[in-house]
Amino acid sequence: MLHPLHIVPKEITAIKILLTIADGSVETLITNLEPEQFPPAVLKQLYARRWGIETSFRQLKYTVGMVHLHSKKPELILQEIFSAFILFNFSQAAAWGSDTA
């Protein structure tokens, strides 16, 4: 018997949205969100906010070295992740401070 979370829908409705970004290029978004609740202008704002998060994760992975975890025990994995977050936040604060000085 399958767990309810493993049920795959037979059909998914997707909406294609074209957004013009600051440099004039066009980004394509595919979403299942209702356009009445999430008009293109709102999706554009959400996309911009999400993009900042994605670039931070990329920096975290490659700059701080989180591509591979070295620990095996769950508590040590958490320690490794939290240490990387702290290092990343300090480096971002230092970079931000040097930009505003």
Largest Cα separation within the chain, whole Å, is 62
Confidence of residue 2 (pLDDT cuts 50, 70, 90): low
Report yes or no on 82 lying in a domain: yes
Total number of domains in the chain: 1
Q: Write down the pLDDT at residue 25.
A: 93
35 occurs within a structural domain: no
Task: Name every residue whose Cβ is closer than 8 Å to that of residue 81 and which is 6 or more positions away in sequence.
Answer: 66, 69
Kindly tell me if the per-residue pLDDT of 3 is higher than 70: no
Above 70 in pLDDT, residue 61? yes
Nearest residue to 43 via CA among 14, 12, 35: 35
Instruction: State which residues form the domain around 76.
Output: 68-101
Answering whether pTM is above 0.75, one says no
Q: Is residue 28 included in any domain, yes or no?
A: no
Residue 90 domain flag = yes
pLDDT in tens, 15-33: 999 988 889 999 899 999 9
Q: Is residue 54 part of a domain?
A: no
